[in-house]
Amino acid sequence: MTDTITAAITLPTPQRRIVTAVPGPKSLALHERRLAAVPVGVNSALPAYIARAHGAILVDVDGNQFLDFGSGIGVTTIGHTDDAVVAAASEQLKRLTHAAFTISPYEGYVRVAELLAEHTPGTHAKKTVLQNSGAEAVENGVKIARKYTGRGGIAVLDHAYHGRTSLTMAMTFKAMPYASGFGPFPGDIYRTSSSYPFHDGLSGAAAAKKTIVHLEKSVGASDLACLIVEPIQGEGGFQVPAEGYLPALQEWCTANGIVFIADEIQSGMARTGKYFASEHFGIVPDLVLSAKGIAGGLPLSAITGRAEIMDAAHPGGLGGTFGGNPVSCAAAIAVFDEIESKGLLGRATVIGEVLRAGLLELQKKYDIIGDVRGIGAMQAIELVVPGTHEHNSAALGKIVAFAAGQGVLLLTAGTHGNVLRFLPSLAMSDDQLRDGLGVLDDALAAL
């Protein structure tokens, strides 16, 4: 059966608009079919089935329009169905859809590698491998670091999220829902404390010392191939590390021959007002991992790093059938073009200012907002039991449900499920941002 339900839905206007209950009758009918055909392990935060999207608006099959503060978990960073991305991908689709770069190479892959060499932190010689998903980027980063160092150990931080494959599940902090019951897991993974200023109250130097001492005592630097960090933790709750934390970790890695990897899968590609969040902290990672926003909604991920590290893997040691698909590469090239031609780095900074100002206002009004944090278009609030730093996850579900009913799609995060995160596309206007903040105000008032 073709997509008869969604075919009738036209391009959205730039406002939220709710015309049925959420989810509406057509979504409910699709949900019935889905429950019979798709396992319950795959969840959907809001089972309103999406038919079309443009800019910062999603339209469901019932014609409801949602203001999208999630961007498909930080993927459509430059906006849904960005015209230049659609044009580039459509053109490419007609010319060459697949050749397998490991069999027959093509220019798009090389161009994306060049663009990443140019835009990732540092001026050293760099090389890039392309894959499909974020988890694959993490897996390959670890493979390369192990081959380069001849060591096995992988160091990860508390509250980290790195994916859902066996290795990356084991590297991810939160067991439920990501890893529970899916073991046994690969070994040689060492977890240590992160920097979480709202809860640990530590300076960057003190937090780094704690992290480093823990690793030195529990593993030993000489057994570590890599330390992987998210410069701003994503799923973990948008923790911005204390000043000096990341540079201290990098320095320790360099001094001990440990490959320092930045997982910029959520924080990268213009999200924070720089191409990569690492730049805000003055770090130059040995390897940078990208995915999500890199190809405007098409699947693509990348491992970019120091040429001598990247070249450690023997010929044929890296690959994969679909990695660096030509259509995804064409889309990624268009994304880089759009970031430059539309000044989207600046736009991400302005979005951050508008969001932050609005969220700080709300914090004055509502004492369940314990913390407002983030950089650029990656902002979050942490909900607490008023007057304490205790997690308040009960309130979060109510806020998200209220907002959905008003046509605003909000995402949750946080190890304790008490963080509300904002990942709007950089196509979101100031009016749309303020409208969304107004709905959040109403949701908090309704608690």
| CA count, 13 A, side-chain hemisphere, 200 | 20
Among 128, 192, 194, 266, binds ligand PLZ (CB under 6 A): 266
Distant-in-sequence contacts of 70-73, Cβ < 8 A, 24+ apart: 70/409, 70/410, 70/411, 70/423, 71/293, 71/423, 71/424, 71/425, 72/297, 73/266, 73/292, 73/411, 73/423
Matching residue, tokens 């720089």 = 274
Give 116-119's long-range contacts (Cβ < 8 A, gap of 24+): 116/288, 116/290, 116/302, 116/304, 117/304, 119/275, 119/276, 119/336
Residue 167 sits at φ, ψ, to 5 deg, of -65, -45
Among 234, 305, 376, 436, binds ligand PLZ (CB under 6 A): 234
Q: Shortest gap between Cβ of 14 and ligand PLZ (angstroms)?
A: 26
291 binds ligand PLZ (CB under 6 A): yes
| 288 touches ligand PLZ by CB under 6 A | no
User: Can residue 68 be called a binding residue for ligand PLZ (CB under 6 A)?
Assistant: no
Nearer to ligand PLZ, 68 or 263 (CB): 263
Q: Does 444 bind ligand PLZ (CB under 6 A)?
A: no
Question: Which window, 127-135, 339-347, 351-359, 416-424, contacts ligand PLZ (CB under 6 A)?
Answer: 127-135
Angle, helix 107-119 to helix 326-341, in steps of 10 degrees: 40
Among 55, 70, 134, 407, binds ligand PLZ (CB under 6 A): 134
Pick the stretch among 5-13, 80-88, 157-165, 398-406 that binds ligand PLZ (CB under 6 A): 157-165
The answer to the question of residue 69 lying near ligand PLZ (CB under 6 A) is: no
Residue whose beta carbon is closest to ligand PLZ: 134
CB of residue 176 vs ligand PLZ: minimum separation in angstroms? 12
Q: Considering the complex, state which of residue 109 and residue 238 has its C-beta at the smaller distance from ligand PLZ.
A: 238
> What part of residues 391-430 is at the interface with ligand PLZ (CB under 6 A)?
none
Q: Is the dihedral of CA 185, 215, 140, 301 positive or negative?
A: positive
- Closest to ligand PLZ by CB, 179 vs 354, is 179
Nearest to ligand PLZ of 384, 410 (CB atom)? 410
Q: Which is nearer to ligand PLZ, 138 or 312 (CB)?
A: 138
Which residues, 236 to 265, sit near ligand PLZ by CB under 6 A?
Answer: 263, 265
Measured between alpha carbons, how far is 211 from 207 in angstroms, rounded to an integer? Answer: 6
C-alpha pair distances (Å), 430 with each of 67, 166, 433: 12, 41, 5
Residue 412: which residues within 8 A CB-CB, separation 6 or more?
A: 45, 396, 400, 419, 420, 421
Written as six digits, the tokens of 239 are: 């923790």
Exactly one of 23, 121, 163, 241 binds ligand PLZ (CB under 6 A); that residue is 163
C-beta closer to ligand PLZ: residue 64 or 239: 239
Instruction: Tell me: does residue 164 bind ligand PLZ (CB under 6 A).
Output: yes
With contacts defined by CB under 6 A, name the span among 121-129, 160-168, 367-375, 432-440 that binds ligand PLZ.
160-168
CA distance 43 to 388: 32
**What minimum distance in Å lies between the beta carbon of 10 and ligand PLZ?**
29
Using the CB atoms, write b or e for 370-408: b if 16+ within 10 Å: bbbbbbbbbbbbbbbeeeeeebbeebbeebbebbbebbb
Give the CA count within 13 Å in the CB-facing half-sphere of 357.
8
Site for ligand PLZ in 191-230 (CB under 6 A): 230
Cβ count near 223 (within 10 Å): 15
Select 37 or 42, whichever has its Cβ closest to ligand PLZ. Answer: 42
Q: Which is nearer to ligand PLZ, 175 or 445 (CB)?
A: 175
295 belongs to the binding site for ligand PLZ (CB under 6 A): no
Tell whether residue 133 is a contact of ligand PLZ (CB under 6 A): yes
Answer yes or no whether residue 324 interacts with ligand PLZ by CB under 6 A.
Answer: no
Segment holding 141, helix H or strand E: helix 134-149
* Per-position b or e across 88-112, b if 16+ CB within 10 A of its CB: bbeebeeebeeeebeeeebebbeeb
- Give residues 342-401 in contact with ligand PLZ (rule: CB under 6 A): none
CB of 387 to ligand PLZ, least distance (A): 32
Question: 288 in helix, strand or coil?
Answer: strand
Q: Which residue number, 109 or 161, has a Cβ lying nearer to ligand PLZ?
A: 161
Contact residues: ligand PLZ, CB under 6 A:
73, 133-135, 138, 161-164, 230, 234-235, 263, 265-266, 291
